[in-house]
Amino acid sequence: MNKIINFTIDGIQVQAQKGETILTVARKNGIYIPTMCYISKTSPCASCRMCVVEANGVDGFVLSCNTPPTEGIEITTNNDALQNERVNIMKLYDVNHPLECGVCDKSGECDLQNKTLEFSVERQNFSARDQLREIKHWGLIDYEPSLCIMCEKCVHVCNEVIGDDAIEVKFGGYSSTIIPKNSEMLDCTFCGECIAVCPVGALTSSGFRYRANAWELERVPATCAHCSAGCPLEYETRHSAINGADEIFRVKNNFEFTSLCGAGRFGFDFDNKQSSEANSFELALKAIENAKAIRFSSIITNEEAHILQLLKEKLGIKLFNEDARLFGEFMKSYGSLSGKLHHSGSLDAIKHSDAAIVIGSRIATDNPGVRYALTTASKHNGAKIVYAHPMEDVLMQNVITQMMKYEVGTEEGVMALLAYEILKDADLTESERAFFDDLDLGYIYAETNIGEEELSYMSKSFTRAKKRVLIIGNDLIAHERAGNIAMLAALIEKYSDFSLVVVPREANTLGVSLINTLERDENIENVVGYNAKGDFVISSLGSADLAIPALNQQEGTVVSIDNRVLPTNVALHFSGYTLNDLAKALGVHKDETTHYTQELRREAGFKGIAFDDLENFLSPLGEDNRGYLLDEVALEANGELEELDDLPEFNGTIIYQCDPVLQFNNYTLKAEQLPKDNFLHGSAQFSVAARISDGDMVEISFAKTKIQRKFKLDSELKGTVALNPTFDISVDAGRYRFEKSKIVRVM
Amino acid sequence: MHNEHIQEHFNNRNVTELDSNYYMVDIAPYPTDGWGKFQRVIKRAFRGELFVGLWVVLREMIKFDTHTVQYPAEKMPIGPRYRAVHEMKRLWESDTERCIGCGLCEKICISNCIRIDTKLDENSRKEVSEYSINLGRCIFCGYCAEVCPELAITHGGEYENASDQREHFVMYEDMLTPLDKMKAGTQLEFEGFGAITPHEDERVKKTPLAY
């Protein structure tokens, strides 16, 4: 099957796997072939022709980026003819390219500059009549057509990796440009990936434009703090104004292999600028000493979580974090059947899969990293993607092959059906088989609203798939019957070739759930809030009783969805106290917060590597060398599936707690560039049912909360569930996200 | 080479060569014994050398031909390459500022005294919004002028920058050539290293613009 092809490049004997091109093999072997439009994570654009090589026995030049080698062929990557061809290409690129390098945002890191110098183009013998090309302002993105070299990288990433498919090439020879697809204005999720891949200064960030130059900025490698995908990024800092402190000017990423969503790219200014009162440290100490519990959010580092755990043990207080507790319990139930602590899948597994089921998550906004991985799988492997959720999602429309719409609250039934369908022929134990035999299928079909034919259609479309992934979202983790759902997921993973990815809700939910012993959040008095609500609030969100650094102001590690422990670094200085200072004063002593890195719980899979020994880079071939993967932990497999509970019914007005694109939490709310769309979004059907219309101010009450929002009629939505954003309020992160609510119009 | 017009002439300072202008000064031997030293003291005390010196002063006083520069009423001319307080030049063609805000001067500054901030202005051009040089830190090395790709920042002849505190700043507006001076055509061009070489126009290569 895996045929190996032997051939030579420049006289060097090399080997290619099936599916590899001459260029990828050359790069693997350290042989340099210049390219302008090639980008590793997409299929070859083949627009630049810089990568031409000669092959013996073949007339003319061969494009190495999209040509697979044949057995025994001899490739020449450089000779006079090839050099001449490349110099001419560079000259053509340079025709009428504005000589504004001095002010261009890309100057100093520009591919065109580099290659023009590399091929020493010092004289121009081509010319063309220049034309008026106006700058386009597309919100967060600016497009300057006169600088564009039509490499088409932006179009390819937008379509193949991100999935927005928002831009396209308007062909027209010399007057070709990039235009928004099917619309006047750019209508997309503003991930800014097109800015990242642009080799010249044509696509730029409007917020950064002309504010600083590449050579002035200091780069700090870090990990994105907004969701659990743990994307690598670099904060670029410089002084602000002429006597200001340092400021993050922009965020960049290794776009060759990784992607970043708009929140990561544009939502970088969430640093804590608050300075505390002189006596607040003493007050904080007193508050912790007298506290019954500490309530904290999962947007903290592992080291902070570890210190909190040590404080808990030392002072005998409780720790509350509903989001991580539920995740931990989900994984515990999962482990009780699978016999191991960590899920088997990763973003890479999703990228390489050819079949995937996403269930219980509005994944495009919950975790863009997973969305991009799914898009990659769909576009590059033709993956079949089943999206099971009570609501359709327009953002996933291009990618999914089957929408499995179920009734709100019936997740347990849906999982049982999926497991039943997938494990039809599996070699189950007797008790497990008995569980499936006892299922009242008719009842489940009726209550979940999933038809038998939908399941068989799924099975049919998956028949030829070899790498399958099951992606489980927060609706299942926070479900009342999460324990049983987790065991069903474990069962699927155990007896089929599905790998499993459980999507943690916050940036470090996974890490916190492994490190802390958490208790159920009771509404008691005397709670210290750590980045969360409390009677005394220690927080990096501003207006706290004691200010602490935000995630871009401290070093430490977080655990990503890949079970990878990722280091992050200090981009901005914070003058104030940290949790470690409090811990030191309370008798838990270590000089630096990062000295706890090697002491993180070995029983949970942490490796005991010191912070300073953690690497944080991607190799030139894209191998992830950031941090380390958690060790697998074996558990006792003694879990028993419970009988299916009655499936609940949700009637009346239901809201779904779901953030809009580019928003995740109170930190992204602080970011200046990110749009703050805090409307209650509902369909026309919902507006009729709730008797409200577009633009109405409404009061939404659910549980004990009452908030007021404007209602926005969203033509992209269907059904009777409305979307309620949570980034600007603090909704307890452990709740089941669908909620019955009362909505009344206020004047 | 294009810079053959730059010719430097050095004095021949080689003492060993015959045609050099150096010669040994004739100095009488010093006395070594007590008697000799005594004789020298007597000789110096009574020869009236003091009055020779006083006569020189008196003579010059009467002649009224002094070389003393009456600073600050009078100032010595300084060379074009003198490196004193910076100036920001304007373009001759349009009177607009030459500085494009590339930040290279800030980057190269070894005493870290330059701070620059730029932004997008309302005409979609890059505008220098803030610029300052801390003259208390500046060592007047001239790197900023040397690195400037636009010949925008240069050193001027203004060396009187005494101040009553260690830190004192000069801002962009203070350094910029005033418009009236520009209109009058009296902006001085920097003639030091990095300045436009003579006959620059003849050396420019043409790009082929067929239309």
A84 within some domain: no
> E strand or H helix at B40, and its extent?
helix B34-46
Distance in angstroms (rounded) separating the CA atoms of residues B90 and B172 = 12
- Close Cβ partners of A650 (under 8 Å, ≥ 6 residues apart): A407, A408, A409, A738, A740
pLDDT higher than 50, residue A682: yes
Identify the CATH number of the domain in which residue A245 sits.
3.30.70.20
Domain match, A289 and A349 both: no
Distance in angstroms (rounded) separating the CA atoms of residues A82 and A87 = 9
Q: Residue A341 corresponds to which tokens in the numbers above? A: 């602590």
The predicted-structure confidence for A593-630, as pLDDT tens digits, reads as follows: 999 999 999 999 999 999 999 999 999 999 999 999 99
Beta bridge partners of A5: A16
B91 within some domain: yes
- Quick one: pLDDT at residue B194? 61
Residues of A in contact with B120 (CB under 8 A): 209-211
Q: Is B3 on the interface with A (CB under 8 A)?
A: no
Closest residue in B to A100 (Cα–Cα) = B100
A711 half-sphere exposure, CB direction, 13 A CA radius: 25
Beta bridge partners of A203: A143
A290 within some domain: yes
Number of domains in chain A: 5
Whether B118 sits inside 8 A of A212 (CB atoms) is yes
Number of domains in chain B: 1
Distance in angstroms (rounded) separating the CA atoms of residues A291 and A529 = 10
Please name the amino acid found at residue A584. K
Identify the CATH number of the domain in which residue A61 sits.
3.10.20.740
Residue carrying the six token digits 């958490």: A518
Domain match, A472 and A346 both: yes
- Quick one: pLDDT at residue B93? 82
B103 within some domain: yes
Which DSSP category does A624 fall into? Answer: B
Q: Provide the residue range defining the domain that includes A664.
A: 654-745
Q: Provide the residue range defining the domain that includes B167.
A: 86-194
Domain match, A334 and A443 both: yes
ipTM of the complex: 0.83
Specify whether the CB–CB gap between A475 and A361 falls below 8 A.
Answer: yes
The predicted-structure confidence for A167-201, as pLDDT tens digits, reads as follows: 999 999 889 999 999 999 999 999 999 999 999 99
- Lowest mean pLDDT, pick from A180-184, A487-491, A700-704: A700-704
Specify whether the CB–CB gap between A233 and A275 falls below 8 A.
Answer: no
Separation of first and last alpha carbons in chain B: 33
Domain match, A162 and A44 both: no
Distance in angstroms (rounded) separating the CA atoms of residues A446 and A440 = 10
| Partner-chain residue, chosen from A123, A127, A243, that has the shortest CB–CB distance to B209 | A127
Residues of A with CB under 8 A from a CB of B: 102-103, 107, 123-127, 129, 135, 209-213, 215-216, 239-243
Is omega for the bond preceding B29 within 30 degrees of 0, making it cis? no
B52 within some domain: no
Domain match, A688 and A582 both: no
Distance in angstroms (rounded) separating the CA atoms of residues A76 and A79 = 7
Distance in angstroms (rounded) separating the CA atoms of residues A568 and A301 = 9
B136 within some domain: yes
Closest residue in B to A144 (Cα–Cα) = B124
Domain match, A658 and A735 both: yes
Domain match, A421 and A295 both: no
pLDDT higher than 80, residue A376: yes
Q: Residue A396 corresponds to which tokens in the numbers above? A: 């996933």
Residue ending a domain, among A243, A266, A289, is A266
CA distance, residue A102 to nearest chain B CA (Å): 6
- Quick one: pLDDT at residue B207? 62
Domain match, A374 and A480 both: yes
CA distance, residue A125 to nearest chain B CA (Å): 6
* Three-state secondary structure call for residue B176: strand
Of B114, B88, B113, B103, give the one whose Cα is nearest residue B181. B88
What is the pLDDT averaged over residues A33-54? 94
- φ and ψ at B122, to 5 degrees? -70, -15
Q: Is B115 on the interface with A (CB under 8 A)?
A: yes
Whether B103 sits inside 8 A of A211 (CB atoms) is no
DSSP letter for each residue of A549-615: --GGGS-EEEE-TTSEEEEE---S---S--HHHHHHHTT---SSGGGGGGGS-GGGT-----GGG--
Beta bridge partners of A359: A388, A472
Closest residue in A to B119 (Cα–Cα) = A211
**Helix pair A411-422, A430-437: axis angle to 10 deg:** 120
Q: Is B156 on the interface with A (CB under 8 A)?
A: no
Q: Edge-to-edge, what's the strand order for the sheet holding B114-120?
A: B114-120, B126-134, B169-171
A122 within some domain: no
Of A481, A409, A488, give the one whose Cα is nearest residue A449. A409
pLDDT higher than 50, residue A113: yes
| Partner-chain residue, chosen from A127, A215, A239, that has the shortest CB–CB distance to B115 | A239
CA distance, residue A273 to nearest chain B CA (Å): 21
Domain match, A251 and A158 both: yes
A677 within some domain: yes
Residues of B in contact with A215 (CB under 8 A): 103-104, 107
What is the pLDDT averaged over residues A349-356? 96
- φ and ψ at B125, to 5 degrees? -110, 160
Beta bridge partners of A566: A558
Domain match, A612 and A658 both: no
Q: Residue A490 corresponds to which tokens in the numbers above? A: 């474990």
What is the pLDDT averaged over residues A38-58? 93
Distance in angstroms (rounded) separating the CA atoms of residues B154 and B175 = 10
Whether A215 sits inside 8 A of B104 (CB atoms) is yes
A632 pLDDT tier (thresholds 50, 70, 90):
very high
B32 within some domain: no
Distances from the Cα of B5 to the Cαs of A546, B8, B9, B192, B198, in angstroms?
Answer: 69, 10, 12, 14, 9
pTM of the model: 0.90
Low-confidence ranges of chain B (pLDDT < 50): 1-2
A91 within some domain: no
Identify the CATH number of the domain in which residue A705 sits.
2.40.40.20
Identify the CATH number of the domain in which residue B175 sits.
3.30.70.3270
A475 within some domain: yes
Specify whether the CB–CB gap between A321 and A512 falls below 8 A.
Answer: yes
The predicted-structure confidence for A267-278, as pLDDT tens digits, reads as follows: 999 999 998 888
Of A672, A650, A661, give the one whose Cα is nearest residue A736. A650
Closest residue in B to A217 (Cα–Cα) = B107
Whether B115 sits inside 8 A of A243 (CB atoms) is yes
Residues of A in contact with B113 (CB under 8 A): none
The predicted-structure confidence for A16-25, as pLDDT tens digits, reads as follows: 998 899 999 9
- Quick one: pLDDT at residue A729? 85
DSSP letter for each residue of A688-744: HHHT--TT-EEEEEETTEEEEEEEEE-TT--SSEEEE--TTS---TTS-SEEE-EEE
Whether A211 sits inside 8 A of B120 (CB atoms) is yes
Distances from the Cα of A674 to the Cαs of A202, A203, A628, in angstroms?
Answer: 22, 18, 32
B13 within some domain: no
The CA-based angle B27-B33-B36, given to 5 degrees, is 60
- Quick one: pLDDT at residue A13? 95
Whether A242 sits inside 8 A of B131 (CB atoms) is yes
Domain match, A464 and A399 both: yes
Whether B118 sits inside 8 A of A210 (CB atoms) is yes
Identify the CATH number of the domain in which residue A350 sits.
3.40.228.10
Domain match, A594 and A458 both: no
A230 within some domain: yes
Please name the amino acid found at residue B51. F
Q: Residue A507 corresponds to which tokens in the numbers above? A: 């940036």
Beta bridge partners of A437: none
B150 within some domain: yes
The overall average pLDDT reported for chain A is 94
- Quick one: pLDDT at residue B206? 67
A514 within some domain: no
Residues of B in contact with A126 (CB under 8 A): 208
B138 within some domain: yes
What is the pLDDT averaged over residues A419-433? 92
